[in-house]
Structure 1
Amino acid sequence: MAFTLEQLRGFVAVADELHFGRAAARLKMTQPPLSRQIQKLERVVGAQLLERDNRRVTLTAAGQVFLVEARRLLGLADSAPELARRVSSGASGVVRIGFTAASTYGVLGRLLNDLAAELPDVDVDLSEMVTREQVAGLLNEEVDLGLGRPPFDEEAFGNRLLHREALLVAAPVGHRLLELGRPVTAADLASTPVVMHSPTQAKYFYDLVARVAPVAAENTVHTVSQVLTMLWLVAAGRGVAFVPASAARLPIEGVAFVRLETSVPQPVELHLLWAKDSKNPALWRTLAVLERRAGRL
């Protein structure tokens, strides 16, 4: 047999008032049913919680300890319906976000600040993932929202363009490309050693560079997947690299940047990506917030 919430409320009222009559009046009931509630509670608990005589009521040592837990349980019971309503509406809960490393250079921080301002009761769980890992995570319901690169399966996923930026050439300070006084063209890069994006781990950037400034295989000195690694290799003089404009925020000593001439001024895209059939209400509230604040990202 378990105790009931009504028994807990009766016990807390008596413990507060230290008087059965006043406690019964507070609970809008008569004294005999309240006394029976307390007796049943003590039988279930297996300990005397109150000492009472004709003159006064006091808490036993067991009653003092039980009172703390009774208040906690009542607090949880009272808050549970409101919490359930907030989770159902998306105002509370958890949103798991997968993001590419390059998105942390500017966009991710502002996005998280916007969510914290408008949805303070939604917890955000972050996982750094390349886009293909995000896609798998969305399909397996391991993440709710991705910050990734196209293309996507538009049958399975909803997506919205979140951010566009230019493609830059990162070069060691003093490199001839930095002295041109204009955007770098594909022709300027002939015979230049290049730290290239991995065709598997960084396929989006690899394909983008292949379209706008094809790099000869003999000019590729390294292939890596992370922009930060590329910049350290550039700083070491290993070659130049193609990076999104947001990478210029990274203060890597010995590295400078120049714009790459492209037919589209800002060819680098970052998209929000989500499963169309997601059952997480907090995801839809998150998307609504980001839609309203899209201009700030």
Structure 2
Amino acid sequence: MTYTLEQLRGLVAVAEELHFGRAAARLRMTQPPLSRQIQKLEAAVGAQLLERDTRRVTLTPAGHAFLAEARRILSIAEAAPALAQRVSSGFRGLVRMAFTSASTFGILGRLLNELEARLPEVHLELYEMVTREQIDALTGEDIDLGLARPPFDPELFESRLLHREALLLAVHEDHPLAGLDRAVVPADLATEPLIFHSQRKARYFYDLVVSMVPLAQERVVHTVSQVMTMLWLVSAGRGVAFVPASARLVGVPGVAFLPIATPIAEPVELHLLWPRRSHNPALARVLDALEHVML
């Protein structure tokens, strides 16, 4: 079955005018070529689409059924160039974005709302990954954009600071430290069991805590990679943990959050991370939309 868009347009015109002469005039052609178009279309379809005599033109049952499909095909064909242009310009498309679990604590949702408002035709496909996994996925072109923790290789990636927050101490709500009326200092933790970040899977938080709060590593009782796991261990009375301030939004029962005396007031950083070379035009639009956003 082979037919052309011109033949479909001819059928639609005749079906709407129910007159070959008026349909030909509407299409800015003469009647004989239009008649030949319809004949070729019927031959390609293998069914009679029109009943015509010297006085009138009507659609056959097959013609009624085919007319609906002809209109649908023409609609798709007419919309295709505009769709291609929007995809090429980045206003429509797909961006595959990875995020760390801690970035879901309020930050990810606000970012998605911002992008939906600014770029409603760009779909974001989400993947939860630690920073190390994000770097591998960006390098392998499995994702386009990451919400990750520094540092990054500047020769391979570009990044932009998206969010900065304080580092807090999570303790059980009945813990004696919960009653402090000042910031926690290292001396307060000399005998406390510590729930610590994995040096391999959560290297950013591990290095950050070690640099900000001098601690005795022999006090570490659990090593985990996810903030949520830390909070549940704290809730169970297994120890105290260092978490980003946004962890307060999770609402794990039985956990209190205390300020820590750190050299930098808000040392925890979250960055947008993307490869220096990308073939996805929608990524550029997403980055433009977030250029002045700080969450």
TM class by shorter-chain length?
A: over 0.9
Specify the code of the residue in structure 1 equivalent to 2:12: V
In structure 2, what is the equivalent of residue 188 of structure 1?
188
Q: Identify unmatched segments of 5+ residues in structure 2.
A: none
**Residues 208-227 of structure 1 mapped to structure 2, 5 A cutoff:** 208-227=208-227
Q: Equivalents in 2 of 1:11, 1:167: separation in Å?
A: 70
Q: Equivalents in 1 of 2:216, 2:66: separation in Å?
A: 76
Q: Equivalents in 1 of 2:63, 2:260: separation in Å?
A: 75
Q: Equivalents in 2 of 1:96, 1:144: separation in Å?
A: 5
Q: Equivalents in 1 of 2:231, 2:261: separation in Å?
A: 20
Q: How far did residue 210 of structure 1 move?
A: 1.4
Q: Equivalents in 2 of 1:195, 1:222: separation in Å?
A: 5
Q: Matched residue pairs, number?
A: 295
**Residues 1-297 of structure 1 mapped to structure 2, 5 A cutoff:** 2-292=2-292, 294-295=293-294, 297=295
Q: Deviations over 1:177-210 (max 9, x none)?
A: 2222111111211110111111111111111111
Q: Deviations over 1:38-67 (max 9, x none)?
A: 111111112211121122222222222211
Q: Equivalents in 1 of 2:204, 2:261: separation in Å?
A: 18
Q: Equivalents in 2 of 1:223, 1:61: separation in Å?
A: 72
Q: Equivalents in 2 of 1:229, 1:215: separation in Å?
A: 21
Q: How far did residue 217 of structure 1 move?
A: 3.2
Q: Equivalents in 2 of 1:263, 1:163: separation in Å?
A: 18
Specify the code of the residue in structure 2 equivalent to 1:25: A
SS at match of 1:16: helix
SS at match of 1:126: strand
Q: Report if the CA contact (8 A) 1:186-1:212 is conserved.
A: no
Specify the code of the residue in structure 2 equivalent to 1:277: R
Q: How far did residue 250 of structure 1 move?
A: 1.2
Q: Equivalents in 2 of 1:215, 1:59: separation in Å?
A: 86
Q: How far did residue 230 of structure 1 move?
A: 0.8
Specify the code of the residue in structure 2 equivalent to 1:178: A
Q: Deviations over 1:223-246 (max 9, x none)?
A: 111111111110110011100000
Q: How far did residue 216 of structure 1 move?
A: 2.6
Q: How far did residue 138 of structure 1 move?
A: 0.9
Q: Report if the CA contact (8 A) 1:235-1:252 is conserved.
A: yes
Specify the code of the residue in structure 2 equivalent to 1:118: R
Q: Equivalents in 2 of 1:216, 1:102: separation in Å?
A: 25
Stretches of 4+ moved more than 6 A in 1? none
SS at match of 2:290: helix
**After the TM superposition, which of the residue ranges 24-33 and 273-282 deviates more from structure 2?**
24-33
Normalised to the residue count of structure 1, the TM-score between the two structures is: 0.96
Q: Equivalents in 1 of 2:52, 2:214: separation in Å?
A: 90
SS at match of 1:291: coil
Q: Report if the CA contact (8 A) 1:99-1:126 is conserved.
A: yes
Specify the code of the residue in structure 2 equivalent to 1:227: V
